[in-house]
Amino acid sequence: MAKKTSKEKKQIGELIDVIVLAADEKKANDIVTIDLTQFDTRVCDYFIICSADSSTQLESIVQNIQIKTKQSLKEAPFSTEGRKNAFWVIIDYIQVVVHVMQTQAREYYNLEGLWADASLHKRIINEN
């Protein structure tokens, strides 16, 4: 993949921030960002992973992410998969792919473990 310009990096950073805040607003659990930029054969630059305790909460998180990215950044996802079963939903913003998973799916599939060589960042939300 080609090197990103500082403007592109800033836009990706803003997208990540909006997604994380939107997930946090709906009480998503254990929000992490995985930086994949060190890998030449990556499918995207970043994964954001969070979990939900129910299908209702999962749907609420997904909706809020899509609403907030559209309102704040005029960004719509390239695709969204998995909404019918509401067990694991993937929201694809090309450079950033969001995984919203029910807790048991997240524990079972262990995406953080699969990408253990990548830089993992827990997102801490300031509570002011």
Q: What is the pTM of this model?
A: 0.88
Q: What are the tens digits of pLDDT across the range 13-27?
A: 999 999 999 999 999
- Whether 128 has a pLDDT exceeding 90, the answer reads no
Asked if the structure places residue 112 within a domain, the reply is yes
Residue 106: predicted pLDDT: 94
Domain interval for residue 57? 10-122
Residue 86: predicted pLDDT: 86
CATH number at residue 102: 3.30.460.10
Which residues are paired to 116 by β-bridges? none
Q: What are the tens digits of pLDDT across the range 54-102?
A: 999 999 999 999 999 999 999 999 999 999 888 999 999 999 999 999 9
Asked if the structure places residue 1 within a domain, the reply is no
Asked if the structure places residue 83 within a domain, the reply is yes
Domain count for the chain, please give it: 1
Residue type at position 60 = S
